[in-house]
A and B are shown apart, each in its own frame.
Chain A
């Protein structure tokens, strides 16, 4: 017989098996993923990824995302500029999609991850556990949708390359893709368990 505290039970993020939290070197009993080996620098890794993502997001907004070359005229548009342009042309649904995908989702994700990472160290909103799980779950589900604008740029530049009219990706596309990539890494590196963990457990 084995006596376990239900609070000690954790879910393996890879195979969903219920495991007993054994402290330092947890290794999933079912899939043997060494996911909990890094728990010591868990938040540090997540912090590093998140900061990289935030830094990459700055050039993503300053440089043009899309460059249109039309009869010798070269015109670049940034993410915000593109959204405004679409709105002015009356393409409201598309403007809203791009606005959400490229501005709301990434910024919201930065804030949620910052909040979660800070609340691991300092007991912010301790009593509202479920909310935090929901927040985390939301960032995981909604996060990838911020790739929309990068894909759109890729599609348009592959489709339109005539001698007179050409659409080319701008520097911001690279910066933005890097930013999305690192936010996804930061979210995956963040240990969900830390949300419910009491600071006295170590």
Chain B
């Protein structure tokens, strides 16, 4: 196989699921490319990627804010009303002396989910302004490293499991934050499934090096 230089490797893509090498073909706007070996969606071309990314990250951050400041569930047990919020969940672990689990939980359900969307917002803002070429790179690397540690979706399932466990023992009332969390998780799943990091990298290249890097 002969190529012009290392940069020409940008015309290739390796499927993230089955590691098959493919030649990247240009797509029309909105189309997606699937791996011929395993059928996974590999990349997409979206001419409005920046605006869509900005809109999604702002929406997610608003939902996240609501999800954290209002009660997720309220219960009444033996005449006593109790409620939880996301921060209360891990803060109570600290109160009970479970520092390790408390730190884990605070990172997995609060710091990483928030961080990921702040990074998306920051990256898309920089791309929109076409500024901070190096900074965008660093942020993109940080983003890839943070995504696997953001576990809001798993936390949402855990809430449902806990509620089912409580049925029969307590009166349960779903709070505003629960629905906000559902919407946040929906946006989170959409953005991580539909906007692949490599797509942002390609956009980064198109914006900052329209003539190629020339190395």
Contact = CB atoms under 8 A, between A and B. Distances in A.
Interface of A: 1-6, 9-11, 13-20, 29-33, 86, 91, 93-94, 97-98, 130, 133-134, 137, 140, 144-145, 147-162, 164-165, 168-169, 173-174, 177-178, 181, 184, 188, 192, 195-196
Contacts of A156: 162, 165-166
B100 A177 contact: yes
Nearest to B42: A16
B13 A155 contact: no
A155 B140 CA distance: 33
Interface in B1-43: 1-10, 12-14, 16-19, 21, 37-38
A111 B161 CA distance: 27
A153 B84 CA distance: 13
B164 A160 contact: no
Contact of B165 (A140, A152, A173, A178): A152
B9 A9 contact: yes
A145 B140 contact: no
B155 A151 contact: yes
Contacts, number: 183
Contact of B10 (A18, A31, A149, A169): A18
Given A91-B164, A97-B157, A144-B151, A14 B1 contact: no
Contacts of A10: 14
Contacts of B141: 14-15, 31-33
B52 interface: no
Given A11-B19, A155-B89, A147 B154 contact: yes
Contacts of B90: 154
A45 B38 CA distance: 30
Per DSSP, chain B at the interface is: helix
A158 B165 contact: no
Contacts of B88: 158
Given A94-B165, A177-B100, A154 B105 contact: yes
Contacts of B162: 152, 155-156, 159
A9 to B, nearest CB: 6
Contacts of A1: 2-4
A148 B4 contact: no
Contacts of A15: 140-141, 144, 197-198, 201
A97 B108 CA distance: 20
A162 B80 contact: yes
Contacts of B92: 154, 157-158, 161
B96 A169 contact: yes
Interface string B63-104: 000000000010101101011100011111100101011001
B6 A31 contact: no
Given A11-B14, A15-B198, A157-B96, A20 B9 contact: yes
Contacts of A152: 158, 161-162, 165
A128 B5 CA distance: 33
B122 to A, nearest CB: 16
Contacts of A165: 77-78
Contacts of A9: 9, 12, 14, 21
Contacts of A94: 161, 164-165
B109 interface: yes
Contact of B77 (A32, A137, A149, A160): A160
